Chains A and B, each alone.
Chain A
């Protein structure tokens, strides 16, 4: 082996010597030379150049994607000013199943074609065109090859073809054809199984063209396995299934390579650059994969979307913002278990109706807002301060009710106090439970829901309604199921003194919810917000007076009612109307420039499209975090995967610009940006690579430090 290497090294030396002499040169088993289609050319012309590799028999060099091993041939041009080289055109390679490691190779004689563009202002005379070529040649052993090649071109008043012109012409004819003539398309056949995912590629075949194949391009983060399978297709079409293996990051959105067919034993190749669709063109797909194709609504991925929406709705049940309401519902069950099953079933349906109606209103809102040109985003009602104030008041009242400060169900027919509606056990209680669950659930965009919503927001109105309905069903499902099969109810504990204690205990998470909502309010009312706190205290006082003297005592009933009303009205007029001025939230703008969430944290710059563009123009990677104070997922992401030491260090190391887009008040420019990436709401984290030509990396909704660091690593390259 040392001998072979020595020989390679000696040959390389001779290469250098020969180069100096300006001749075509030779490495171990491959001779490289530069040939031109013209002897002389006019300024402004494009001259076809060829890098010819004559390879000893039995040896091979590699295509632009070498496959499982090997290295593509590299051409580094050294051209005089006024001459520029275009992209290298690669003839179709041969597929070499070497052991089980497939490679794409060239044998014997190959010409890589490169168009050379001459500037219109070139002076007449002789030009020396040079390039350094390096390759890997293999037989049983692999040897790196390297050569300096050159050719002369005369700039003159007329173009004169060279003796190599016919050879170049013949190679030009052999180049893969443009793929758009055979209308290729690609889509994922199925969801991924760990890091493997089947992809279907379909194209129009002019005639019966077996065998067929796909030679993929090479990628860093995934690869297409060489085991393409023919799948039955309708007449005039060819369909292939290939397996994509992912190493890191997201599934690719685009894929390119050569579509190969061999009509009459003659290989025909087509260059195809395919954007991968998330699912097949339902009605017109010609590939018959194992998944049955039905009407549009039944396409697997649409079903998957519905499934996601349903699961998302289901998950909303255990979200911290909804859990207290669930507790109320459990209490309801315990109370109703003794009732007749028909009644329980009816209440279950009414609850579902409450949820569905609320979701319908949300859907209508989205459609309406979308129609008026405003971009809609999930959780948008949380950007409305008046809504928040009302919600805080309602939630506080529910908490007080749970604490037993007052009770509305003592007098079963009273239907006023809005906050206690939810704790009532009759039909309105069930209905209001549904509404409340929906209202509270919206900011907890569970990961599943995000995808489904992103999809729904880009759909027609009917689709939006359908999607929201499915989500509502998910939210209502557990309750509905229990009420329909009351047998399950017997697993619930018997009512007793504990329910009272449990009820009081559940008041605390409710109170916590109120505090969280309160923290959002401070964003709108600033230092005035504490007046809302004062009002809540006055409200509590009124509630206590009402509970103590109107409901539980017989002596001071009238006095109690008047006192409670006076306290409430005075409190409202003074605190809410007078001091807080709740109907006119004063929007304080956050300081523009720098903004740090924790000391030593990431020094955020305010996001704007211009900020992104200017940082990219400086050749810096850009890290963008779209967040909102009401978005719990965003806060969690920030705490565990964004504003952490390793990410800060990485941002510094790659000199990234960190931009924060605050979506708390739903600014239009951010809504537009979110929609561009198919998201209906925050979180959205983007990483723009250093190379301004490259598209941004869109991170998933739930982040880990690993996901962020990998993306930054990639962006900094």
Chain B
């Protein structure tokens, strides 16, 4: 009996320790604070589609998506359609690209971002939990809380030019989800700069 309990406990422990994002599995839950002080909990969004974007404006790939306005347009299209769009900044506090809360609020306004919220993840906890490798890297979670897409934002890994000419995987995934179809591409190789985690 005791052994059984220990085994059970060990399994539970391993289970939680390995709760890393995987396609087709429930997306790991998280709690975080956004730059405007609001508490954010993934499970609160059950019933809605959630998009995560790993973000660092100093990365030329990300910068291009914002300077061309393509990312803001995507955010607007999605959020006006009932989708939750969370920008996740996991850049370590010791890195020059780190944003203090004030700087982040200013950037949010300057860039005219249309996302639901900007999550400060300078600890890298959320980023590691989802296995974020690059900026920009995108994640789509369906209304049942399953991770249905992870990878590149589009099929055009370039720090210049107009991203709107590319095939946007996130847009396609969400169109398919909303049409009740199967998601055709659930995983791609993310491109961009490394996340700049706390090392």
Contacts and interface: CB of A to CB of B under 8 A. Distances in A.
Given A138-B193, A142-B193, A713 B185 contact: yes
A69 B60 contact: no
Interface stretch (A283-291, A388-396, A468-476, A701-709): A701-709
Interface stretch (A95-103, A155-163, A626-634): A95-103
Contacts of A1: 57-58, 96-97
Interface in B18-38: 22
Interface size class of A (residues with CB under 8 A): 35 or more
A218 B159 CA distance: 18
B194 A68 contact: yes
Contact of B189 (A134, A138, A142, A247): A247
A68 B133 CA distance: 7
Contact of B191 (A4, A69, A138): A69
A5 B63 contact: yes
A220 B182 CA distance: 21
A584 B155 CA distance: 57
B72 interface: no
B186 interface: yes
Nearest to A96: B194
Contacts of A143: 60
B80 to A, nearest CB: 25
Contact of A709 (B57, B151, B184): B184
A390 to B, nearest CB: 43
B116 interface: no
Contact of A706 (B63, B134, B157, B184): B184
A547 B181 CA distance: 56
Contacts of B196: 140
B157 A71 contact: yes
Contacts of A248: 185-188
B199 interface: yes
B96 A646 contact: no
Contacts of A140: 95-97, 196
B197 interface: yes
Contacts of A68: 133-134, 194
B8 interface: no
A248 B187 CA distance: 6
Given A68-B133, A138-B193, A704-B182, A144 B60 contact: yes
Contacts, number: 83
* Interface size of B as a range: 35 or more
Contacts of A19: none
A144 B61 CA distance: 9
Interface string A256-281: 00000000000000000000000000
B159 A136 contact: yes
A348 interface: no
Contact of B60 (A101, A142, A218): A142
Interface string A120-134: 000000000000001
Nearest to A135: B159
Interface in B140-199: 151, 155, 157-160, 167, 181-189, 191-197, 199
Contacts of A189: none
A220 B186 CA distance: 13
A50 interface: no
B97 A141 contact: yes
B117 interface: no
A412 B124 CA distance: 81
Contacts of B157: 71
A717 B155 contact: yes
B17 to A, nearest CB: 17
B160 A144 contact: yes
Interface in B32-54: none
Given A68-B133, A144-B160, A247-B188, A4 B193 contact: no
Given A223-B189, A710-B185, 7 more contacts: A1-B58, A69-B133, A71-B191, A101-B134, A141-B96, A706-B182, A713-B167
10 contacts: A69-B192, A98-B194, A99-B199, A101-B134, A103-B194, A138-B193, A144-B60, A704-B182, A705-B181, A709-B184
Interface of B: 22, 57-61, 63, 95-97, 133-134, 151, 155, 157-160, 167, 181-189, 191-197, 199
